[in-house]
Amino acid sequence: MKTIGLIGGMSWESTAVYYEIINKEINKRLGGVHSGKIVLYSFDFEEIEKLQHEGKWNELTHKLIDAAQKLEKAGAELILICTNTMHKMFDEVASNVSCPMIHIADATAEEIKKMGLSKVGLLGTKFTMEQDFYRERFRQHGIETLIPEPDEREIIHSVIYNELVIGLIRDESRQEFIRIINKLHERGAQGVVLGCTEIPLLIKQEHIDIPVFDTTKIHALKAVELAL
């Protein structure tokens, strides 16, 4: 079994889910009292969130590179960035470590293609929805991405940063997300990508009639596959 390195704390709410999924899946596959070999570097999200909204992406890149290198020194044999937004600097981080890294959008695209879909809706932070780093990755896989309208993107972004990252789950917010997803479906989305690792805390497949792609679960399970 390879040691999995997690760059987490963005936020810790979803990082805890990564830890749980990886350990449960390894135990399911290996039985007994097996669990994952995991090294975790967890950020103080207050610092990360501030730099994101100040647009200081170069500083954030250096922080992630430092975290990845520390994980590698601690024995990590593959590394995950436990957040969609920070995949904006994935290539820079990956080029500064020698062990492989798993891109969350690549793992998700594999699952979308397995279902034969070619057009999906994308929910996430405004950075993920509006900037090209995520949608371009899907484009390379032949997948078209639809994003919500500007006012809807504001709602999603606000719920993520003001509710989900502190573990606040409100039914009113869930209903807003469902409404937005249904509008994306009306515009032609065949499925919806929960492109923020906190959104699966709020939205599950049972809430939506079209396929839901939980990027947290997909990413974590891909790590297990490669670790074993």
DSSP label at residue 210? S
In the sheet where 38-42 sits, what is the strand order? 38-42, 4-8, 78-81
Is residue 9 within 8 Å of residue 210, measured between CB atoms? Answer: no
Q: Could you give the count of Cα atoms lying within 13 Å of 88 in the half-sphere of its Cβ?
A: 21
Segment holding 111, helix H or strand E? helix 104-114
Structure tokens at 33: 């009292």
225, amino acid identity: E
* Residue from 3, 15, 61, 83 carrying the catalytic annotation: 83
Rg of the chain over Cα atoms, rounded to whole angstroms, equals 17
Q: How far apart are the C-alpha atoms of 88 and 139, rounded to whole Å?
A: 15
DSSP label at residue 207? G
What is the sign, positive or negative, of the torsion defined by CA atoms of 10, 127, 117, 141? negative
Is residue 84 within 8 Å of residue 44, measured between CB atoms? Answer: no
* Residue from 3, 82, 108, 196 carrying the catalytic annotation: 196
Q: Look up 83 and say whether it is catalytic.
A: yes
> Could you please report the per-residue DSSP string of 63-100?
HHHHHHHHHHHTT-SEEEES-SGGGGGHHHHHTT-SS-
Which residues are part of the catalytic machinery? 83, 196
